[in-house]
Structure formats: C-alpha cells, structure tokens
Amino acid sequence: MASQGVVGQSVVAGWGVAVRRMAKHGHASLMRRIRPVEPPASPNSEPVRCILCDRPVPRQQLDWHHLVPKLKGGRETAPMHRICHRQIHALFSEVQLARHYASAAALLAHPEVRKFVDWVSTKPDDFYESVRRHKGKK
C-alpha cells in the first residue's frame, strides 16, 4: 500500500518490513545498495558544498565520492559536483586514490587537481562538460 508522502519519506508503507525480510534471508548485498533518500532542502538551509571546489552543488549535479574507494574498503563519502568527481577518477586510479589521495587536502595538493579547481571555480554551479581520461593514469 502506497502512502502519500513527501520526497524524503518512505512512499511505501511496508518498506521497513521489506528491509527486515531481506536481512532475514541473507540479502546483505542488496541492503548495502539501499540508501535513504535525503529530504528536500528547505529554502533557508545551507546548500551542500563540493569538497573539492567549495562551490554549492545543485541537486542534479550531486555525486558522492568515496574518499577511499569501495574496492579498497572505503566507506566514508563526501559530496562533489559531477564534473569534479569525474575529473578525480580521470586523473587517478583506485590504488592511487586509496594510497595517496584519501582526503580533500591531499587531492588539492596535486598540481593538476589544483589547476582544474582554479578553472572550474570560474564556472556556474551547474556547469558540466565531459572529462577525458588522463594519459598518465595507469
């Protein structure tokens, strides 16, 4: 039975039951994929800011970057613009991110990232352009 809810609240009345049923039957991998929907921002709330360029992130451009890649056991995520997130993954491999660039400060210390941030900071918040893979990435 569906309930009339606002975005951010469970639209399906039996959602909790379904999650408990999945846990009971050993569907842990499916449960990890379930991410609660964030409630809509009220007009007076502070906008989400990108950890790389520190600009406000529009909802349609919001990506969550794993500071340490999931393949390397990372769980902590941070908000980023889609273009910033794609640039990071175009420049660095998962191993490089895990070993050397697991924080915003470490990423910003890299000269190519700094050059990109200086460039993208002049663009509107909802700016997006395709990103090319870096030729030095292994």
pLDDT tens column, 107-121: 999 999 999 999 999
Phi, psi of 17 (to 5 degrees): -65, -45
DSSP characters over the chain? -B----TTS-SBTTHHHHHHHHHHTT-HHHHHH--PPPPPPPTTSPPPB-TTT--B--GGGEEEEESS-GGGT---EEEEEHHHHHHHHHH--HHHHHHH--SHHHHHHSHHHHHHHHHHTTS-TT-----PPPTT--
**Arithmetic mean of pLDDT, 62-70:** 93
Number of residues that this document lists for the chain:
138
76 with 66: CB under 8 angstroms? Answer: yes
Domain ranges of the chain: 1-40, 44-138
3-state SS assignment for residue 135: coil
Q: pTM value? A: 0.63
pLDDT for res 130: 74
**Does the structure show a pLDDT above 90 at 22?**
no
Extract the tokens encoding 9: 């609240």
pLDDT for res 128: 80
Q: How confident is the model at residue 81 (pLDDT cuts 50, 70, 90)?
A: very high
**Does the structure show a pLDDT above 80 at 101?**
yes
**Does the structure show a pLDDT above 60 at 50?**
yes
**Does the structure show a pLDDT above 70 at 46?**
yes
